[in-house]
Structure 1
């Protein structure tokens, strides 16, 4: 143990570094110093669970400076988002800390970055978690980095736990990385959103044992760099002296955010919610973020708000990286009133003066909600936090729930295929043999990799042959926890008690107490009125019919041997660009379409309002040549819906209805990936002779009608059959696509 004078000198150095990072008035919090001392002096492993804005990044940057000044190697930070990396690098540079990053967006710079690390010119190296599963990086680069590191930091550590609201399989590899670290390398994990279960799980993975020392932490709700009135070097020294020699030190503080003013506004329809936002946006302070549950909703709402003259931009994981960066900069520079964003902007975006957060649609977890609203009010006295829940929220939650860990038969099939291959298989080569979509297959493989059942190598994935047990009980418990969180989110909307206290109790904050600021505490509720004109305008925008659908142009890999096709689909067999009425995930037509396509919904004629909207879709379709006839796809589940849609279109368009492609064989289960779906429909459709003859006599394009387009392979096969029967072109038309 160091003596008091050494400890005082170390803290003086830490305070000087903090002032370089956060300004001359900055002072270390008591628990910031406890964590720094544990890392620098004790070389401990620590988990810091503190509210957004508390100053967790100050802990690892100050610890980095102190360790580097004492001859330690660079700090390696595993950080989940590029936005977070950019902010952290800028913050580090203010403190004289040289930071670099390696991620998927700067592969050309990797060699130069690693050379700087080797030369000792880098103090902090930020790594995205996905790099941990890259074979070259994992096997060649990472061991050297880990062996020479002075400190390892796991940011947003709740992502390690599958109990967490934002579990990421790549993060699970950190457990192996930490277990292989040489003795004496300190480790810091940080998060703002972890309840007791997640905290315990992360601490176990951090230390390899259950946490030996879990301390309550201070917190006065002030700004991240404020001093603690009761903190003294003596109390800190006494706390440090009691640290256990094994296990992870856990510093968990209260989550109170005195700047946040929470409220809920309940409106009966999506039209009214979006109209309310359009009418109230300019009254909200400063600039902010409007969160949506889906990509489609982000674009729809952004379009509506721009139509009303608001300076906004849409932001999602599908947005081009350069456009995302520009949108972030525009919001930071207050050139935008708001970003209309999905959860892709959840972690890492740092704008201290963010004045408001609005959610159009409720996240499925109070913990996820608290994480997102934590972006606001970090550097202002008051920030507005408003939730506009919708009846469609639960439908969207159910859609995302379908992306959970696959069933045991699917997992066993994957392991059997890999085991029998005798060579590595890429994800694209494996996909045709497993009934999973690409993203879900990759997620499963990453979990199996961490569990030791498969291993990622150059060329793909291979089975290890190690025994592996399907942890059904855990997966069921995680699913049950997700359902509990959804019920809790509904309870938050309905509560008459303090909203902040409710959220803090969901995070197991022992200091949770009424905030005195939310709508329920003050009795001041935001008005739920919206003008008829605004509602009509929102309805017109949200129900603007028509979504473009690009045709399939390439056959999926893995079907050449049994179907005899591969590579590019011949232009003479392709469909043209198609149209649908709307997306199942949007908040305009999506609300109606989800009801129409619900599992137990009856098969009916196409509703009049949907048909009228489809007429508008057709009227706006800028095709090169007008269709000359209508053909429908035989439907086993909704024959009445498809036939009524096709025949009514033929009547109003004065086009001959030639009939339908016939369905062959028994109904097959719905498949989830391209190769599996193509195999299902390849021999399931045929062109009856009478229809083939009529198609061959038709001089113009065929309008091909179905109820919905999911993977696109039914339309692809149907179009191919019609083209081979003599159709000069095929124009797909349906009511819905998934997203």
Structure 2
């Protein structure tokens, strides 16, 4: 295995000492390892990881199994018969809405086993907690279900100061008594570009000419993830790109969004991971945490709501640090008029 970085050892030690921790580090920096490391010292204990998306959770579970780290269970809509495993990954809704799960957390026997509670992709507390998924804003109530000495580990690639303050307030983190790591978001293996569009969301030609230039086939395109803010625009882009390419290449262009079935999303991610999809058009559903190392290019179709969102999405590229990756932001003309 790989030797941990000093900051990973420090975070793991802080958790073992019962200190709350906040970790800000770019995608692919190794934020997951400190989740697991305390269990090598206390293998009888449990780490609860709260993560935003089912696909992300299942992807990280399979990834952990492949890398042969500590056993990890994805707790979706039901609790495993033998309770939580040494590392259990679940959602805010499962923690706060599922009566049996809350009962498990409140059980003295189980609560005594909890090593830490990890909130992954913690910027979602601010980004989603107000309306889209209000349970995110209530994650601090987990403090009332577990012993006071259970530390919280909060991680994200993007936590600007105002959002970090909001997260600390929601999760009841006291700045003076929290171990804080900020590694920055620099990704030296990603080259950053902007591409000016001719129009707004209907200007799919800008995307088509960028991806499929003259005499370029889909199979010539490096593995690419394209982000959209609206499902219907992603679907229209799928139609447009397929019209520009031969029918035999259509299976290599796919769309991934929250309205697809769990089975379909899982199948798409597996195909994308195995390089059987060259261009994956996606909404936020694939924007966080899916650790697919062979993505060479990330494109954002139109400027997103914030720079933090773009940094999160662009960070899907070049997870393999040996890959020279690209992040391309397609900018609509109205941005320059504001």
Instruction: Give the TM-score, by structure 1 length.
Output: 0.41
* Residue 91 (1) aligns with residue 54 (2): no
Secondary structure of residue in 2 paired with 1:194: coil
Listed as ranges, the gaps of 5+ residues in structure 2 are none
Secondary structure of residue in 2 paired with 1:252: strand
* Residue of structure 2 in register with 1:27 after alignment: 3
Higher RCO, 1 vs 2 (CA within 8 Å, ≥6 residues apart): 2
Q: CA RMSD in A?
A: 2.6
- What does 1:54-203 correspond to in 2, within 5 Å? 54-68=29-43, 71=44, 73-93=45-65, 94-104=67-77, 107=78, 110=79, 113-117=80-84, 122-137=85-100, 139-144=102-107, 145-161=110-126, 168-203=133-168
Aligned partner (choices 355, 359, 364) of residue 300 of structure 2 = 359
Aligned partner (choices 179, 182, 186) of residue 256 of structure 1 = 186
- Judge conservation of contact 1:147–1:182 (CA < 8 Å) in 2: yes
What's the CA shift for 1:374? 0.5
**C-alpha distance in 2, partners of 1:139/1:305?**
47
Question: For structure 1, which segment, 51-60 or 164-173, has the greater mean C-alpha deviation from structure 2 after superposition?
Answer: 164-173
* Residue of structure 2 in register with 1:389 after alignment: 331
**C-alpha distance in 2, partners of 1:162/1:289?**
22
Q: Deviations over 1:352-400 (max 9, x none)?
A: 1210001222211111011100111110331111122235xx7xxxxxx
Q: Deviations over 1:95-128 (max 9, x none)?
A: 3412112213xx4xx3xx14254xxxx2111111
Question: How many residues were matched structurally?
Answer: 323
Secondary structure of residue in 1 paired with 2:317: coil
Secondary structure of residue in 2 paired with 1:161: helix
Q: Deviations over 1:167-204 (max 9, x none)?
A: 74212222111244314323211111110111122234
Aligned partner (choices 186, 201, 206) of residue 273 of structure 1 = 206
Question: For structure 1, which segment, 88-97 or 307-316, has the greater mean C-alpha deviation from structure 2 after superposition?
Answer: 88-97
**C-alpha distance in 1, partners of 2:123/2:70?**
26
Q: Deviations over 1:380-434 (max 9, x none)?
A: 331111122235xx7xxxxxxxxxxxxxxxxxxxxxxxxxxxxxxxxxxxxxxxx
- Judge conservation of contact 1:353–1:377 (CA < 8 Å) in 2: yes
What's the CA shift for 1:138? 5.3
State the structure with more CA Rg. 1
Aligned pair in 2 of structure 1 residues 103, 147: CA closer, same or farther (>3 Å)? Answer: same
- Judge conservation of contact 1:165–1:367 (CA < 8 Å) in 2: no
* Residue of structure 1 in register with 2:238 after alignment: 302
- Judge conservation of contact 1:164–1:198 (CA < 8 Å) in 2: no
Listed as ranges, the gaps of 5+ residues in structure 1 are 1-18, 20-25, 213-246, 395-489, 495-739
Higher helix share: 1
Higher strand share: 2
What's the CA shift for 1:74? 1.2
Secondary structure of residue in 1 paired with 2:267: helix
* Residue of structure 1 in register with 2:19 after alignment: 44
- What does 1:471-550 correspond to in 2, within 5 Å? 490=335
- What does 1:209-288 correspond to in 2, within 5 Å? 209=174, 211-212=175-176, 247-269=177-199, 270-280=203-213, 282=218, 286-288=222-224
Q: Deviations over 1:710-731 (max 9, x none)?
A: xxxxxxxxxxxxxxxxxxxxxx
**C-alpha distance in 1, partners of 2:129/2:138?**
16
